[in-house]
């Protein structure tokens, strides 16, 4: 009886790389950079682990590649979520909700948190908060009806606070909200974000520092 030769699928190198990167990115959000295992990535991608090494050279290069791609995805998703809503007031709530969903459902917030915890520095080329500050400051000036002239640093701190609440919140908010005595309802985080939006807008419009 002839040896039952196993069927193989042969992909274009780029297609195989993309498939492997997809599997790796899932693991990245789930267990972080240092938790990525070649065998698990390979199994998830439906290939053998030497194939992964063939396409990426080493585990370390694979991790570097997936981090670079994940950061690019995050940037793209954030820009899209921000641009999707124009700058007017009613849309601001929607924008924060868009960003929160973009960060949470994709696991991007977890990725950012893993990276920072493991010592990765997010430089300006990877994430650009200054652009968000510019947009927010423009919105704030447009909304101005008298009062003091808002300082740009104040807007920057507001953006940082919102970022902390959204990125940190995607990881911590469910635990923290419940721990603070708010109901464990699935909509509680969304309520919290709406509340946050009103707080930030209130600060924009009535800053008395």
Partner DNA sequence: GGTGCCATGAACAATATTGTCAATAGCTAT
Partner DNA sequence: ATAGCTATTGACAATATTGTTCATGGCACC
Minimum Å distance from CB 167 to DNA?
27
Q: For residues 52 and 42, is the Cβ–Cβ distance under 8 A? A: yes
Q: If you ran DSSP here, which 8-state letter would residue 33 be given?
A: G
Q: Quick one: which of 77, 99, 159, 197 contacts a copy of itself (CB under 8 A)?
A: 159
Q: For residues 189 and 103, is the Cβ–Cβ distance under 8 A? A: no
43 lies in the binding site for DNA (CB under 7 A): no
Residues 156-170, buried b or exposed e (16+ Cβ, 10 A)? bebbeebbebbbebb
Interhelix angle 49-56/13-31, rounded to 10 degrees, is 110
Minimum Å distance from CB 71 to DNA?
21
196 lies in the binding site for a copy of itself (CB under 8 A): yes
177 binds, among a copy of itself, DNA, none (CB under 5 to 8 A by kind): a copy of itself
Strand, coil or helix: 199? helix
Radius of gyration, alpha carbons of the chain: 22
48 lies in the binding site for DNA (CB under 7 A): yes
Q: If you ran DSSP here, which 8-state letter would residue 174 be given?
A: H
Write a three-state SS string for 109-122: HHHHHHHHHCCCCC
Part in contact with DNA (CB under 7 A); list of ranges 49-57, 70-78, 182-190, 197-205: 49-57
Note the residues at the interface with DNA (CB under 7 A): 5-13, 16, 36-39, 47-51, 53-55, 58-60
Note the residues at the interface with a copy of itself (CB under 8 A): 31-32, 34-35, 110, 112-114, 116-118, 121-122, 124, 127-130, 132-133, 153-154, 156-157, 159-161, 163-165, 167-169, 171-173, 175-177, 179-182, 192, 195-196, 198-199, 202-203, 206, 208-209
């Amino acid at each position: 009886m002839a040896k039952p030769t196993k069927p193989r699928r042969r992909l274009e190198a780029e297609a195989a790389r993309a498939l492997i990167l997809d599997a790796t990115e899932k693991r990245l959000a789930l267990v972080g950079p240092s938790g990525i295992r070649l065998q698990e990535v390979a199994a998830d991608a439906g290939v053998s682990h030497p194939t992964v090494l063939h396409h990426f050279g080493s585990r370390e290069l694979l991790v570097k590649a997936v981090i670079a791609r994940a950061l690019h995805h995050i940037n793209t998703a954030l820009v899209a979520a921000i641009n999707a809503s124009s700058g007017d007031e009613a849309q601001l709530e929607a924008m924060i909700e868009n960003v929160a969903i973009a960060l949470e459902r994709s696991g991007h917030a977890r990725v950012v948190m893993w990276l920072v915890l493991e010592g990765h520095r997010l430089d300006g080329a990877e994430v650009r908060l200054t652009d968000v500050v510019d947009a927010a400051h423009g919105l704030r000036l447009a909304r101005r009806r008298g009062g003091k002239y808002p300082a740009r640093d104040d807007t920057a701190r507001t953006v940082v606070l919102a970022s902390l609440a959204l990125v940190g919140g995607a990881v911590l908010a469910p635990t923290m909200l419940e721990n603070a005595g708010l109901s464990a309802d699935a909509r509680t985080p969304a309520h919290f974000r709406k509340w946050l939006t009103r707080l930030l807008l209130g600060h924009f419009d009535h800053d008395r520092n």
